[in-house]
Amino acid sequence: MTSDQKKIFYSFFDYELGTLSLAATENGLCFVGSLNEPLSELELGIARLFPKSILIEDEIRLEMYHHQLLEYFTGSRTTFTFPIDVNGTFFQQKVWEALKGIPYGETKSYGEIATQIGQPGSYRAVGTAVGRNPLLIVVPCHRVIHKNGKISGYRGTLEMKAKLLMLEKTALSRATMN
């Protein structure tokens, strides 16, 4: 390792839906991989986000992220409280911030996000920014749908997006019944 390389710690999170790769810097979670994708997805994602970095497998450093993701998948957590460390353009950062404001179990369209960030009509650019979100689930891009209500576009596969939306809907239904 050279002095200008950034340490990125990673591990794998296993749940009944499958396996996700997770990566974090010293400052927070920086990448959540797609469901059941190989290590190469993580390596490519990190290389794009942190060109001068070295990956170090470290289950212990990622324990807090595993814990909160498990709570999310079991329906007992609706928001994440751990630190994140994401790099993006000013526009991407605005979009990702708007995504974090979509309530658990709800959805918004790409056009609604564009209007919310003060750039109505930029729904395609919003779609591109959503697609570049490095923190699947944590920055809930799965809650963005097409204006006609259909599920569209998701780095983690449309099947995963549908499962996440169903998980949230089911957890909300259970919570209101109790």
- What region does 31 belong to: left with phi over 0, alpha with psi -120 to 50, or beta? beta
Does 141 qualify as catalytic in the annotation? Answer: yes
DSSP 124-158: HHHHHHHHT-SBTTTS-GGGEE-TTS-----TT-H
In the chain the beta strands, taken as DSSP E runs, fall at 6-15, 18-24, 29-32, 53-57, 108-109, 144-145
Q: 173: how many CB neighbours lie within 10 A of its CB?
A: 11
Distance CA 137, CA 143 (A): 9
**Catalytic entry in 22, 139, 141, 165:** 141
Q: d(Cα 95, Cα 140) in Å, to the nearest integer? A: 11
- The residues annotated as belonging to the active site are 141
